[in-house]
Amino acid sequence: MEKTFIIAEIGQAHDGSLGILHSYIDALAETGVDAIKFQTHIAKAESSVHEPFRVKFSYEDKTRYDYWRRMGFTLGQWKEIKAHCDEVGLEFMSSPFSQEAVDWLEEVGVKRYKIGSGEVNNFLMLEKVARTGKPVILSSGMSSFEELDRGVSFLNDRGVDVSILQCTTAYPTQPNEWGLNVIGELKDRYKIPVGFSDHSGQPYACLAATSLGASVIEFHAVFDRRMFGPDSRSSLTIDEISFLVEGVRKIDEAFANSVDKHDNSKFSNLKGIFEKSLALNKDLPEGHIITFEDLETKKPKGFGLAAADFEKVLGKRLRRTMSKWDFLNEEDIN
């Protein structure tokens, strides 16, 4: 089994600052994640002044379009970001939100594409990405099964290597909204790799998803959840990410090493210590007929009859007088 692919999403946590963005790359390189994901926004290509805010959070951007302009970087800057990721051993990923963004990411150099849940029905975008011939990770956040059927079929028809992430578009996502059951449903429905994209702001959902066999997990990263930005409260801090990665790797190790419950031979010594033998709980005379109330079990195993065999001694007579707490053996009964 391959290890779980772990993606830390910066998204808009850099707030348009290259310095903060590069600080995230260095910090996340120490956590053990496999990839760091950004969002490539080119305001003029993807948005208009009519786009509303999802939540009104910004004190400096009058419109959502202004926000996307402030969040954007030049093609040259994206190449520098990719180079930094390469230097620290992180795969550079970025979700495109326009045809032009795909062109830029092809020039920057990406191994695969992550399609945000808002783009699942954007077949023009899917066609553009499909023509690159690169694998696609599809987020299912806002999509019904009917919409996902169309998107997955569209990409399959074009020979694209597709995987899909269970995702709930709620910020932060509450446990009753995680939709862990959907992981299995997606596996059964599409027979492709399935992962989990999280917005809960806690590590628990991703750990649970990994235990259910998610092959990819994705979550937002932030230095502190009190920082400015639309996703801060739904993100994991750097320390939480380190904890999560450690947990995921332990789960990976567990899945890679099956335990055979048919064979417990390696526990022979421990069983000898912790299992028990039959004993008497009171002084009893020769000829006494043993009842359930006469019996106790005491450690260690092997000094009396096995505790599992207590029914075999019920109704039997003692061959000799015995004392309280004596072990009971075959030679003691008729």
Read off the CATH number of the domain in which 279 is found.
3.90.1210.10
Say yes or no: 84 and 137 in one domain: yes
Which of residues 256, 281, 314 is at a domain's end? 256
Q: Are residues 149 and 269 in the same domain?
A: no
Q: Check whether residue 149 and residue 276 sit in a common domain.
A: no
Q: Are residues 102 and 176 in the same domain?
A: yes
Q: How confident is the model at residue 46 (pLDDT cuts 50, 70, 90)?
A: confident
Answer yes or no: do 73 and 122 share one domain: yes
**227 shares its domain with 81:** yes
Choose between 46 and 217: higher pLDDT: 217
Same domain flag for 164 and 97: yes
Q: Which contacts qualify for 171-179: CB closer than 8 Å, 24 or more apart?
A: 171/55, 171/199, 171/230, 171/231, 171/233, 171/234, 172/199, 172/200, 172/201, 172/202, 172/233, 172/234, 173/198, 173/199, 173/200, 173/205, 173/234, 174/200, 175/200, 175/204, 175/205, 178/205, 178/208
Distance CA 208, CA 196 (A): 10
Give the mean pLDDT of 17-28: 98
Same domain, 44 and 176: yes
DSSP tag of 269: H
The amino acid that residue 276 corresponds to is K
Q: Which domain holds residue 317?
A: 265-332
For the chain, what is the domain count?
A: 2
254 residue type, one letter: A
CA distance 295 to 121: 71
Based on the domain organization, do 276 and 211 belong to the same domain? no
User: What confidence tier does 57 reach under pLDDT thresholds 50, 70, 90?
Assistant: low
Q: Tell me which of 256, 276, 296 is where a domain ends.
A: 256
* Residue 178 DSSP one-character state: S
218 pairs with which residues across the strands? 7, 197
Q: In terms of pTM, does the model score above 0.85? A: yes
pLDDT at 230: 85
Residues 6+ apart with CB under 8 A from 125: 96, 98, 99, 102, 115, 119
Q: What per-residue confidence (pLDDT) applies to 228? A: 86
Q: Which domain CATH number covers 214?
A: 3.20.20.70
> What's the pLDDT tens digit per position in 304-333?
999 999 999 999 999 999 999 999 999 999
Query: What does the alpha-carbon distance between residue 251 and residue 215 come to, in Å, rounded to a whole number?
Result: 12
**Residues 104 and 15 grouped into a single domain:** yes
| DSSP string covering 100-126 | HHHHHHHHH--S-EEE-GGGTT-HHHH
Does the pLDDT at position 49 exceed 80?
A: no
User: Does 294 share its domain with 204?
Assistant: no
What is the average pLDDT across 22-34? Answer: 98
Of the residues 206, 229, 256, the one at which a domain ends: 256
Average pLDDT over residues 46-51: 80
pLDDT in tens, 75-127: 999 999 999 999 999 999 999 999 999 999 999 999 999 999 889 999 999 99
pLDDT in tens, 234-278: 999 999 999 999 999 999 999 999 999 999 999 999 999 999 999
Q: How far apart are CA 150 and CA 123, in angstroms?
A: 9
pLDDT of residue 216: 98
Whether the Cβ atoms of residue 320 and residue 332 lie closer than 8 Å to each other: yes
Q: Are residues 82 and 197 in the same domain?
A: yes
